[in-house]
Structure 1
């Protein structure tokens, strides 16, 4: 199977799941869901997106071995959290963005209060997916999955990374803080995605440790690539506002050391991530291609 086929297959399954689950009928429990909120949730989750995090869940599980669980449901839970974070990041009191995935952001298409509730809803329902026995028959596995996503999304993960980023805008950034922000704000959910896939396939402790190192490198790769794209692509090419880092005075590696140095660092991180996959042999070929795609993507 090619990487494109694997991602397309994962994306199609996730898209179909989101379309079905994020509907008025499914969300109307125990009481009728308000149409405006359902529409805002769907706007934030269904309007495009690369769906790379669910692909990481699936590819990691396939790499380790067969899973008794539903990888689409587990991947969708991660995607719910990712989409919630974008909806909230775009709010006027956060990044104040008007464009996401080539369309108006949720707070622009609706209003800020509705956008807050849409993000809250996506985050809440993510854990409902993981708690459901349809995701995995083993309650212990489900508990581990919930714990991983809590850690990835919470105060020691993505939410905390956003807080550190806000503090940096007020107080200034130093290189150590920038690295920590990247690890928390971007890398923590990528780390959770990989670890959740490994847990679904009941990885050994050694495999989980190796894949965690790989995931942390993959998170750094994705963020460095994001910084390079922000500095070199247009808003039309990205489908979101370009040039934000420079406009907000963020101390990225590009700002402190230049674009060439950032590209060199990206390549070094890629080699480190690929090294972590050596022990998995040919079974890791798709994962190797995916993390290379993280580094080489154009949007």
Structure 2
């Protein structure tokens, strides 16, 4: 009997705590990340390294896997061409294995589609969709959206079989705003003509950065001779170099992050869109998007969990 009381007390306590995150809050209360690699095939190894590099950074800075949606179109770690199975490196020196030991892929292979991506953002998922495949944000959520792959003027390809247009993406973000699914969004894209993908945005509280302007290519950084292909793109390489020096208590700002890849090293011109974002990025901590915020309420009052369970069980 005593064991049952303790068990039920813990259950009620956990439900109460966890449910706080699902209630719409005023202001910034939690962080989520949607990280998407839209290409596939071995010669696109660098795109997997790109997305896993950002994944590594946000996890290290405190965003838990339960609040990260990772969409990877192909599994380079287990590709038969990979000379070092179960690894993905983003540097020719192979000192950072961005695949790691605890990567949780939520959408894999042919699950990485335009339909699934839009449904994820807007919350229009089929009944019974596992929690790990849901973006359970609210109006207190700061959301990092990172995309990498092959694109053109006004579109991003998904696995060379379909594409999402800049207008479709803008409309999906507007649905998120209307449904109170975000507080602020940092949109980050590394692809050719990347800036074209944020040109149609019209929803508030969105800060956007792109690895290249319209008419420009987003270039790879270097080849690893041991692997035989380019292993990371220039913009993400320098973004990761910056993020590796950021700690959870860092005072670095989004304004500093927007300048991580000047043209002399990126070759392409990094584009930034600020007009939808009311704040000065120089005053916004980088951890507002790449870190974790968890509301904690301190109390010195004694809580009798056993009586709470007993009384709660009487509620009809």
By the TM > 0.5 criterion, same fold? no
Greater gyration radius: 2
Question: RCO greater where, 1 or 2, for CA within 8 Å and sep 6 or more?
Answer: 2
More helix by share: 1
TM-score, structure 2 length as denominator? 0.28
